[in-house]
Chain A
Amino acid sequence: MADAAAAGAQRRSPALGLALLAPSAAMLAVFAIALGALFQFSLLEFIPGSLRTGGLTDRNFRGVLAPLYLRYIWDTVVLSALTTAFTLAASYPVAYALARTPSARVRSLLLVLTLAPFFTGAIVRTYAWMLVLGNSFVRWPVKLLFEPEGVLVGLVHFSMPTMILILAAAISHIDPGYERAAASLGARPWRVFWRVTLPLSTPGIVSGSLVVFAWTFSAFPTPELLGGGRVKMIANVVKDLALDSFNWPGSAAFAVVALAVTLGLLVLMGRLLGRGAA
């Protein structure tokens, strides 16, 4: 009935609704102003040895394209792509188990094990990988710590919870009736998976991959600690320039690039899936 949709929304004034949103809007405004300041600085000239800036310039963005930095950007793209691929492969089985286990207890356990790293701070998680990848516990046949391979492992581990949550949401929304129907038509379990479940979970795969790629593109603590200064991604360049060289304008240009790529990918995802960011 028409009432149901309007239930609760009636006799409540839009003005009060806006008043309730106002404090959050104020917080967002501070955030937006900060990002505005970032854009502004990315277009101002850097005066070495000073936090003050000169006039308008495009030098900062031309600096991004210098050969040294282009290499870091290329490394960032490659690491992000590899991270996305490995994370997808490693997350799908866990997500499938999470969505399809008949036991509420197993689901709860998997969820807590998935989420705990999600909420364990970046520093703790990255430090943990420093211990694992260093040679004190296991003698690795190849050097991993402070190498791209080690950074990749850390990034995959960092991205898995996010990917698992997105995939599990997508898989759990597939009606098991389709799978039963396929089975009744003679498909063996893995054919059912291959021909029914996997194709139907495409939206989750697409959005999970884009989110992971976007987040990895601006990853900071993992490459900072596991890369040990030898492997650098774009966010590490931002930090080096801003906090070590005090070149805020130059740093801002890199930050704007990272922001643009991240937001661009998420907007693309919104378009592909025809709805807002998950």
Chain B
Amino acid sequence: MTGKAVVALEAVSKAYGATRALDGIDLAVHEGELLSLLGPSGCGKTSTLNIVAGFIEPDAGRVLLDGQDVTRQPAWRRGLGVVFQSYALFPHMSVADNVAFGLRERRMGRREAEARVAEALALVRLPAAGAMRPSHLSGGMQQRVALARALVIRPRVLLLDEPLAALDRKLREEMRAELREIQRAVGITTIFVTHDQHEALGLSDRVAVMNAGRIEQLGTPREVYQRPATGFVADFIGASSALEGRAVDAGTVELAGGQRIAVRLPRPLEPGTRVRLLIRPERVEPGDGGANALPARVASVMFLGDHAEVRLELPGGARVLAVVRGTVVVEPGDRLTVTLPPDAFLEAP
């Protein structure tokens, strides 16, 4: 662990009636980093954010802010900036009053507050929107105002709850890049909640993949993608195909169709055991690449412009997803040879 944690959760649990929203979460967020909480809906990521923000109290465990226990501290004392999925801009106030809200709560003088508001609006590239009502702004502009409002109080930590989910696709991609630029420029420690793996992988320094109230894996986007710690992570992040087989020896698996393939896994296989192997589509190579070259039949092709997803059927019925460049023409029923590199496999637990 490098440096002291800005935010730390220790064995945090929360239940709503019989459903366990959070089940013993441990998490440390470091100075200046952007950490994503990624998972399907209901996995507990929003509950985690709400506990950090102080909107809900955990049933058990502690929340530390700069080493101080804030578990029982109400939200208004914590000094964190929150951007809500719905933005939650106050409809009865102008944009400038929205941004100045937190400054007024801190009893800041009028002059200084005005200067700070102008600075914040400039940062989100809305220097002229101060007098407008939030309802007159587009979704993307409302998003920027929400960000300015959260940043203007110079919070210790920025909490973003699915801030891009309400935007349409093109705007979402633009805002994603801009968000990262602003976060870097301000240098603020940030927790980002999302169900979108592209957002999480593209934006984060580290990603915590959550499922059923637990953190399944915490690591850099590269680690999480390339070395998923659990079957859930492998399945949830990126596409992958599963191949069922039986270990023949430490490095060889016999597939259901009788083909023997070499695999290089982090741990040696126990001969005779059943094995479930995962392989990412982009690692499936068309053509004879040496080891593990197998005959296959094209079952279906989905053309997606710059690339096409090809579903291949191996003898014995196993199906493998592969990606080919958009310029390559394949048709359902074509027979071809594919190579599954030995080091491309992951073992599903």
Contact = CB atoms under 8 A, between A and B. Distances in A.
| Direct touch of chains A and B (CB < 8 A) | yes
Interface of A: 1-3, 5-6, 10-11
B259 interface: no
27 contacts: A1-B41, A1-B42, A1-B46, A1-B47, A2-B16, A2-B19, A2-B21, A2-B42, A2-B47, A3-B21, A3-B46, A3-B47, A3-B50, A3-B56, A5-B16, A6-B16, A6-B56, A10-B50, A10-B55, A10-B56, A10-B57, A11-B54, A11-B55, A11-B56, A11-B57, A11-B74, A11-B75
Contacts of B41: 1
Interface residues of B, number: 14
A3 B55 CA distance: 10
A73 to B, nearest CB: 50
A13 to B, nearest CB: 11
Given A5-B16, A10-B55, A10-B57, 11 more contacts: A1-B41, A1-B42, A1-B46, A2-B19, A3-B56, A11-B54, A11-B55, A11-B56, A11-B57, A11-B74, A11-B75
Nearest to B74: A11
B55 to A, nearest CB: 6
Nearest to B41: A1
A240 to B, nearest CB: 55
Contacts of A5: 16
Contacts of A3: 21, 46-47, 50, 56
Interface in B51-73: 54-57
A1 B74 CA distance: 23
A3 B46 CA distance: 8
Contacts of B55: 10-11
A36 to B, nearest CB: 38
Contacts of B42: 1-2
A184 B21 CA distance: 46
A204 to B, nearest CB: 33
B48 to A, nearest CB: 10
Contacts of A10: 50, 55-57
A6 B19 CA distance: 12
Nearest to B54: A11
Max chain A Cβ within 10 angstroms of own Cβ: one of B41, B54, B56: B56
B238 to A, nearest CB: 24
Contacts of A2: 16, 19, 21, 42, 47
A180 to B, nearest CB: 30
Nearest to B17: A2
B21 to A, nearest CB: 5
Contacts of A1: 41-42, 46-47
Interface in B2-50: 16, 19, 21, 41-42, 46-47, 50
Contacts of B19: 2
5 shortest interchain CB distances as A-B pairs: A10-B56, A2-B16, A2-B21, A3-B46, A1-B42
Contacts of B47: 1-3
Nearest to B21: A2
Nearest to B50: A3
Contacts of B75: 11
Contacts of B50: 3, 10
A3 B50 CA distance: 9
A10 B75 CA distance: 12
A11 B54 CA distance: 9
A11 B46 CA distance: 16
A262 B41 CA distance: 48
Nearest to B49: A3
A9 to B, nearest CB: 10
A7 B263 CA distance: 49
Max chain B Cβ within 10 angstroms of own Cβ: one of A1, A3, A5: A3
Interface string B88-111: 000000000000000000000000
B39 to A, nearest CB: 11
Contacts of B16: 2, 5-6
A6 B46 CA distance: 12
Contacts of A11: 54-57, 74-75
A41 B131 CA distance: 66
